[in-house]
Homo-oligomer: A and B are copies of this chain.
Amino acid sequence: MNEVTTRTVRVELGARSYDILIGEGLIAGAGTAIAARLPGLRAAIVTDETVAALYLEPLRASLRAAGIEATPIVLPPGETTKSFSHLQTAVEAVIAARLERGDAVIALGGGVIGDLAGFVAGIVRRGMRFIQVPTTLLAQVDSSVGGKTGINSPQGKNLVGVFHQPSLVLADTQVLDSLPPREFAAGYAEVVKYGLIDRPDFFEWLERHRAGIFAGQAARAEAIAESCRAKAEVVADDEREEGRRALLNLGHTFGHALEKAVRYDPARLVHGEGVAIGMAMAHRFSVRLGLCSGQDAGRVARHLEAAGLPTRLGEVPGPGFTVAELMGAIRQDKKVSRERLTFILTRGIGEAFIAKDVEPAGLEAFLADEIAGR
């Protein structure tokens, strides 16, 4: 018999505080967990076809057993689902289910479903309850924590959305066993990110426990819990990303530019892979600016590589990148303030900081070298 431990991480946001439960079997236990906290609730479950095939019926059965009726809304999988047209479909389906403000939209899936469903919950009747049941490692450690929701626009990722906090997050660590290894590794990039921002001890712990985390041992749940704690702490400090929360974008300005350049083609690059390359680049750029040691940058790249993640532009299959397309994407990124470029740079492992005056010329030269593989 397995002893089942559920870890709880509390996100402190005053009246909008909520719990993240992390452990095995939480989908089977969802009905009980939700009914105990939110009696009388009705719900819609937003999910994608891939996840629906695996976990929709178990989740509905668990809800049904607790007396919670839930209307399923099944969308196609993939980043392109974060669009106006799928938003509209989901919004209208939630309204058609006659749910009220106190009822919930439940996101069952990865970050794509979480971002879209959270946006739906944020705008139907100007805000309904929202519950996250993240099923990718990325969603469990990152996108389901913090209340950022949204969709993409033709001009860039996540340019449209709202801040809308969930009432509860249920991270079932068991469901990660069905995740394609590439997706697991991609999510792991975000775990590493928390170490790199301001938790050097956690980074060292990851260096020692990486194999166990990938194999699904107890280290997995602990890595997820520590990641949620790290993100929850930053979010509690700065809910609306006016200051410190920007640190969470370590690796993301480059990462988003790459995702845009490959037109969000997951055959070429998934989000976490972009972040992995982006973090490695942020460290190399910091070395070049004389901020960070080459040793630290090397150690970061080696850890990401050991986890099966790319760290160089040349590892992305397909045609190469150009400086112009990357610079264009970087300028359009949310974090651009007027013509100065804001970047997350670092003084070493666990010492990231917000740099507000990065010079475009220096950045262009760096990108040219990275593209040339220098």
Contact = CB atoms under 8 A, between A and B. Distances in A.
Given A84-B84, A91-B153, A153-B92, A336 B162 contact: no
Contact of A123 (B91, B125, B160): B160
Interface string A115-153: 000000011111100000000000000000000101001
A5 interface: no
A155 B96 contact: yes
Contacts of A163: 126-127
Nearest to A83: B88
A332 interface: yes
A71 to B, nearest CB: 14
A155 B95 contact: yes
A128 to B, nearest CB: 11
Contacts of A332: 98
A296 to B, nearest CB: 32
Interface residues of A, number: 34
A154 interface: yes
Given A125-B334, A126-B148, A159 B95 contact: yes
A337 interface: yes
A338 interface: yes
A156 B91 CA distance: 12
**Copies of this polypeptide in the complex:** 2
A238 interface: no
A67 interface: no
A370 interface: no
Contacts of A96: 155
A308 interface: no
A101 B163 CA distance: 14
A100 interface: yes
Nearest to A161: B126
Contacts of A98: 332
Contact of A159 (B125, B153, B155, B334): B125
A59 to B, nearest CB: 24
Contacts of A87: 84
Contacts of A161: 123, 126
A162 B92 contact: no
A123 B162 contact: yes
Contacts of A122: 162
Interface of A: 84, 87-88, 91-92, 95-96, 98, 100-101, 122-127, 148, 150, 153-156, 159-163, 240-241, 332, 334, 336-338
Closest A-B pairs by Cβ, 10 of them: A84-B88, A95-B155, A126-B161, A123-B160, A95-B153, A95-B159, A91-B160, A125-B334, A126-B162, A126-B163
